[in-house]
Amino acid sequence: MILINKHILGKNFIAVTIWPVIFVKSAKYKEDDLLVNHEKIHLRQQLELLVVFFYIFYAAEFLFGWIKYKNAMTAYQNISFEVEAYTNEKDEDYLETRKPFSFLKYYR
């Protein structure tokens, strides 16, 4: 399910996935196939980690990255969940061929 909500997102983000909903900043992003595929990858990751563990690991990776890189955007870009999603967002069939817990191979 994709909902429009410009208030749930920070100024630097156009979409966020909070199980089981993808929130986008405006209606035009609902039609962005790359963005939607990226967010669907996050839905799969969240499901694999029973949702709550996804958020725990996501936050931990971000915090450790922030300490390591001393930069929030660099920390975000190095989160294994994001690396997997950005790497595969152009592949429309990725979720059909993706093996469970594939994000682990993107852990840095």
Query: Is-contact 89 64, C-beta < 8 A?
Result: no
Tell me, yes or no, whether 2 lies in a domain. Answer: no
| Cα distance between residue 41 and residue 43, in whole Å | 5
pLDDT digits over 36-80, tens only? Answer: 999 999 999 999 999 999 999 999 999 999 999 999 999 999 999
What are the backbone dihedrals phi and psi of residue 57, each rounded to the nearest 5 degrees, phi first? -65, -40
Residue 9, in any domain of the structure: no
DSSP 1: -
Whole-structure pTM value? 0.94
Domain that holds residue 41: 33-106
Residue 22 domain-assigned?
no
What is the tally of structural domains in the chain?
A: 1
16 lies in some domain:
no
